[in-house]
Structure 1
């Protein structure tokens, strides 16, 4: 068990049976990050098209400099 728990801290560990994945063991921090992402995606999934379009519109005139901060 100790070897597997050490391996999980390096990355996901897939447990297989007859070359078929049964489950994946994750580091608790990775699992929490995935749960948080799922919540964020779920929040966006519940938005209407109008709400999504309003959210991605540029800011009001005079705040263009702030829009540039979002560009990668």
Structure 2
């Protein structure tokens, strides 16, 4: 996803235009050279919040799911990524 990056001063100076842009793509606001805030549309925020609700407790998994996870293997094309997690 494309994004715009501006300083806090730039955002304040062009609030209207950058607010309009934030409705189309995230606008990252930096402070002292570091990312500080992200302004985005309310629709994008709602979409991200809906994704949070997809999480569940492992204690709620069925025995079949637990067995499937325990017996799963990493496809060969992703083995290098698997080693990064260990």
Q: Distance in 2 between matches of 1:24 and 1:30?
A: 12
- Kindly tell me the number of residue pairs found equivalent between the two proteins: 52
Measured in 1, the distance between the counterparts of 2:39 and 2:32 equals 18
Structure 2 unaligned blocks of 5 or more: 1-14, 69-86
CA distances 1:42-62 after superposition (whole Å, capped 9, x unpaired): xx2x132742718x8xxxxxx
Give the one of 17, 25, 50 matched to 2:39: 25
Could you report, residue by residue, the CA deviation over 1:16-57 in whole angstroms, capped at 9, with x for unpaired residues? Answer: 01210111111100000000001112xx2x132742718x8x
What are the residue-to-residue correspondences of 1:56-71 with 2, within 5 Å? none
Q: Give 3-state SS (helix, strand or coil) of 2:58's partner.
A: coil
Which runs of 5 or more structure 1 residues have no equivalent in the other structure? 57-72
TM-score, length basis structure 1: 0.60
Structure 1 segments of 4+ aligned residues over 6 angstroms from their partners: none
What is the alpha-carbon distance in structure 1 between the residues aligned to residue 16 and residue 36 of structure 2? 20
> Does residue 1:53 correspond to 2:62, yes or no?
no
